[in-house]
Amino acid sequence: EPEVTQTPSHQVTQMGQEVILRCVPISNHLYFYWYRQILGQKVEFLVSFYNNEISEKSEIFDDQFSVERPDGSNFTLKIRSTKLEDSAMYFCATVDDRAGANVLTFGAGSRLTVL
């Protein structure tokens, strides 16, 4: 079954460093999302991306965050200068149209630890 692939599975970084999280979406999916889950909290929407541009973003997705599809396959989330509170699981997801309805397919996640 097609799957969303995320790398790295775990990254440890120092506060203030830049981090890039990578996602390979399912090939025929057109909508891409980043979500995050801080330990013990809910899954939070960060940003949605369609047709090479951001379609919606949350309050969390401030100027420190950016997304791009640099080579037409990978979908990346960059955090420019990480903060302690950025420590979380970051999930990439893509939309799978099933019978006209949208179902998010998630990757396994990238755990980011900011020290």
Partner 1 sequence: DQQVKQNSPSLSVQEGRISILNCDYTNSMFDYFLWYKKYPAEGPTFLISISSIKDKNEDGRFTVFLNKSAKHLSLHIVPSQPGDSAVYFCAADGDGNQFYFGTGTSLTVIP
Does 77 bind partner 1 (CB under 8 A)? Our answer is: no
Residue choice 15, 38, 43, 115 for contact with partner 1 (CB under 8 A): 43
Residue choice 42, 51, 52, 71 for contact with partner 1 (CB under 8 A): 42
Record the tokens describing residue 75, joined without a space: 């979908």
Positive or negative, the CA dihedral 85, 88, 91, 92 is positive
Residue choice 28, 41, 51, 52 for contact with partner 1 (CB under 8 A): 41
Does 28 bind partner 1 (CB under 8 A)? Our answer is: no
Distance between CA 32 and CA 55 in Å, rounded?
A: 10
Of 44 and 68, nearer to partner 1 (C-beta) is: 44
With contacts defined by CB under 8 A, name the span among 11-19, 61-69, 79-87, 94-102 that binds partner 1.
Answer: 94-102
Does 108 bind partner 1 (CB under 8 A)? Our answer is: yes
Distance between CA 24 and CA 74 in Å, rounded?
A: 5
Record the tokens describing residue 6, joined without a space: 């995320």
Distance between CA 91 and CA 44 in Å, rounded?
A: 10
